[in-house]
Amino acid sequence: MAAASRGLLARLRGLSLCAGGSPRLPFPPSRLFSAEPFVSHSDDDDAGGEGGGGGSRFIEARAGVMGPTSRRTGVIGVKCGMSAMWDKWGAKVPITVLWVDDNIVTQVKTAEKEGFFALQLGAGQKKEKHLTKPEVGHFRAQGVPLKRKLREFPVTEDALLPVGTTVTVRHFVPGQFVDVTGITKGKGFAGVMKRHNFKGMPASHGASLSHRSGGSTGQRDAPGRVFKNRKMAGRMGGVQRTVKNVWVYQIDPARNLLYLKGQVPGPQGSFVFVKDSIYKKPDTASLPFPTYFTQEGVPEDLEPLIADLGDVDPFMAAD
Of 301 and 44, the one with more pLDDT: 301
Instruction: Say what the pLDDT of residue 16 is.
Output: 55
Higher pLDDT residue, 131 or 299?
131
CA angle 170, 281, 272 (to 5 degrees): 55
CB 35 within 8 A of CB 3: yes
At 234, which amino acid appears? G
Per-residue pLDDT, 5: 55
pLDDT at 284 over 70: yes
The pLDDT value recorded for residue 8 is 56
Contacts of 183 (CB under 8 A, 6+ apart): 238, 239, 240, 241, 265, 266, 270
Does residue 232 or residue 55 have the better pLDDT? 232
pLDDT of residue 22 exceeding 80, the answer is no
Please state, in angstroms and as integers, the Cα–Cα distance from residue 195 to each residue in 10, 48, 191, 264, following that order: 54, 59, 6, 19
Instruction: Supply the mean pLDDT for the chain.
Output: 86
Q: What is the CA radius of gyration of the chain?
A: 27
pLDDT score of 49 more than 80: no
Of the candidate ranges 47-61, 194-208, 213-227, 281-295, the one whose mean pLDDT is the lowest: 47-61
Would the pLDDT of 6 be above 60? no
Burial class (CB in 10 A: 0-12, 13-18, 19+), 316: exposed
The predicted model scores a pTM of 0.79
Question: What SS3 state is found at 221?
Answer: coil
Q: Is the pLDDT of residue 137 over 70?
A: yes
pLDDT at 4 exceeding the cut of 60: no
Check residue 207 and give its pLDDT. 84
Residue 124 φ/ψ region, left for φ over 0, alpha for ψ in the -120 to 50 degree band, beta for the rest? left
**pLDDT (0 to 100) of residue 318:** 59
The continuous run of DSSP H or E covering 140 comes out as helix 133-142
CB 106 within 8 A of CB 120: yes
Mean pLDDT is lowest, of 48-52, 101-105, 304-308, for 48-52
Which is higher by pLDDT, 254 or 49? 254
Q: What is the DSSP letter of 264?
A: -
Mean pLDDT of 45-71: 69
